[in-house]
Structure 1
Amino acid sequence: MEGGKRRVGGEKKDLFHVIHKVPAGDSPYGRAKHIQLVEKDPETAIVWFWKAINAGDRVDSALKDMAVVMKQQDRAEEAVEAIKSFRHLCPKQAQESLDNLLIDLYKKCGRIEEQIELLKQKLRMICLGETFNGKSTKTARSHGKKFQISIQKETSRILGNLGWAYMQHKNYDAAEAVYRKAQMVEPDANKACNLSLCLIKKGRFDEARAVLEEVLHRRYPGSDDSKTIGRAEELLREIELQPAVSPLDVGLSTRDEIMERLDLVMNEWAPFRSKRLPIFEEISTCRDQIAC
């Protein structure tokens, strides 16, 4: 009977850990997660994550979780320094997710130049076949569900982030080149809106309008999203409020000019073209120099 009670108690304890996603046991990392997720005390959780790192207890998980909590507590600068100081203690397979977290933290801190450099580094790794441990896909998890991410989708995502970082840096030439590259890899309506915003910033209203009309005519994946449609309509209204500009004043954008701009940006990312992945071979039909 007593054994049965112990089994029931143990089952309840195990179920508690599953429900709250808290590691079993009383290790520093387990204690940190319990404080974070169950007791809802982020500041104390950070202290215990530090203890886990110093004790060598699941260092990569402790470092990433601590950085996330720090970001939530508006301590993003501290989180950046923590990752830089302790990532050498983490295994190779954890470095990619640490880079992704750093990019997010740089964005939060307004450290745009560092964000740009890290995004370009990630693109170089893709070009050299070093992303996803050389595989064409990787398994990711979101809200408890697993799904597959392809190199193509990852490339498009990074290019989209890089384009937006260039926009924040007011480098609209680079932003345009990157967004056009991203649309070649995997077009979508959100990046089309960002491209049109970039063209508006450059005074090329007719081109921006043409891109937005493609979105409104549902010619891009994601065009059925109500927020994206609303944004496209808002950008169109912004164009209508602009003073009329003669094409001679802004210059006509030709295909060759766009390609030359892409060449300049892409050459900076990846000088080692011999190892480029199939996705980059596929999108180089227009001009070989366009690919990484």
Structure 2
Amino acid sequence: MATAAAEVAGEKKDLFHVIHKVPAGDSPYVRAKHFQLVDKDPEASIVWFWKAINAGDRVDSALKDMAVVMKQQDRAEEAVEAVKSFRHLCSKQAQESLDNVLIDLYKKCGMINEQIELLKHKLRMIYMGEAFNGKTTKTARSHGKKFQVSIKQETTRILGNLGWAYMQQANYVAAEVVYLKAQEMEPDANKACNLALCLMKQRRYEEARDVLGDVRRGGLPGSDEPKTSKRAEDLLQEIESQSPSVPSGLPVVRLEQDVEEMVGRLDLLMSNWAPFRARRLPIFEEISTYRDQVAC
């Protein structure tokens, strides 16, 4: 009887860990996860995540999880300092995900310059073949489900984030170039709306209308999503209320020169990323010279 009772108790304990998605055991990290997911006590979980880091207990996960909880508690700036100060204790395999955590924290804190630099760093890592631990795909997780992400998908995602960061700086020329490149690689309706907004900010309404037309016609992935399609319609209505002409004092040629200069800087940066062209990943061979399009 005692053995059977012990087995039942053990099964219930295992079921508890599965239901609440907490690891088994009684280490500092396990206690932190229990406070986070079971007791719903974020402050206590942060204390125990710190203890886990100091004790060397699952430091990779403890640092990432603690930063996420801190962000939820509006302690993003503190989380930034924690990640930057203790990431050296983490494994090489954890550094890429820590970069992703930092990018989210920078966005939360409004640290746009830091966000842009880190996004460029991630592009350099991809370009030099140092991302994904040298593989062409990686396993990602979202809402408890695992899925495969390709180098092309990751590059497009980073370019999209970089374009949005430039938009926050009102650097719409740079954002336009980045979004154009992202759309060349893997077009979607959401990035098309962002590209159209960049063009609208430069008073290039007809070009913006053409971009949004692709969304309206359902020609891009994500065009059928209600939120995206509504945004496209709202932007089109805004275009209708604006003058289609370029503002006086800012001729089209000046806009083209600015775009060309930005592309030139990106091309130079690209070449610096790959001093040994043999290491250049195939995906970056697809990068065309938008300068030629501007010159036409």
Q: TM-score range by the shorter chain?
A: over 0.9
1:276 equivalent to 2:277? Answer: no
**Change in 2 beyond 3 A, CA 1:270/1:169:** farther
2-structure distance, mates of 1:287, 1:196 = 19
Tell me the amino acid that sits aligned with residue 56 of structure 2. G
2-structure distance, mates of 1:149, 1:253 = 39
Shift in Å, 1:264: 1.9
**Deviating 4+ runs (over 3 angstroms):** 246-250, 252-261, 282-288
Tell me the amino acid that sits aligned with residue 282 of structure 2. P
Structure 1: which 5+ runs fail to align? none
Give the corresponding residue for 1:197.
197
1-structure distance, mates of 2:228, 2:202 = 21
Q: Is the 8 A contact 1:174 1:265 kept in 2?
A: no
Give the corresponding residue for 1:245.
245
Q: Is the 8 A contact 1:204 1:250 kept in 2?
A: no
1-structure distance, mates of 2:54, 2:163 = 38
Give the corresponding residue for 1:45.
45
Give the corresponding residue for 1:264.
265
Give the corresponding residue for 2:15.
15
Q: TM-score, normalised by structure 2?
A: 0.92
Shift in Å, 1:247: 8.3
**Change in 2 beyond 3 A, CA 1:285/1:81:** closer
Q: Deviations over 1:50-82 (max 9, x none)?
A: 111111111111100000000000000000000
1-structure distance, mates of 2:256, 2:201 = 19
Give the corresponding residue for 1:73.
73
2-structure distance, mates of 1:40, 1:211 = 45
Q: Is the 8 A contact 2:52 2:58 kept in 1?
A: yes
SS of the residue corresponding to residue 271 of structure 1 reads: helix
Q: Is the 8 A contact 2:115 2:165 kept in 1?
A: yes
Q: Is the 8 A contact 2:260 2:290 kept in 1?
A: no
1:87 equivalent to 2:87? Answer: yes
Shift in Å, 1:142: 1.4
2-structure distance, mates of 1:271, 1:284 = 17
Aligned length: 288
Tell me the amino acid that sits aligned with residue 54 of structure 1. N
Shift in Å, 1:262: 2.1
2-structure distance, mates of 1:141, 1:134 = 19
Mean Cα deviation higher: 235-244 or 194-203 = 235-244
**Change in 2 beyond 3 A, CA 1:287/1:198:** closer
**Change in 2 beyond 3 A, CA 1:128/1:213:** same
SS of the residue corresponding to residue 138 of structure 1 reads: strand
1:104 equivalent to 2:104? Answer: yes
Q: How does 1:136-215 map to 2 (within 5 A)?
A: 136-215=136-215
Give the corresponding residue for 2:64.
64
Mean Cα deviation higher: 2-11 or 88-97 = 2-11
2-structure distance, mates of 1:86, 1:68 = 15
2-structure distance, mates of 1:195, 1:269 = 22
2-structure distance, mates of 1:98, 1:215 = 34
**Change in 2 beyond 3 A, CA 1:197/1:39:** same
Q: How does 1:116-155 map to 2 (within 5 A)?
A: 116-155=116-155
Q: Is the 8 A contact 1:181 1:262 kept in 2?
A: no
Tell me the amino acid that sits aligned with residue 159 of structure 1. L
1-structure distance, mates of 2:19, 2:271 = 45
Structure 2: which 5+ runs fail to align? none
Tell me the amino acid that sits aligned with residue 267 of structure 1. L
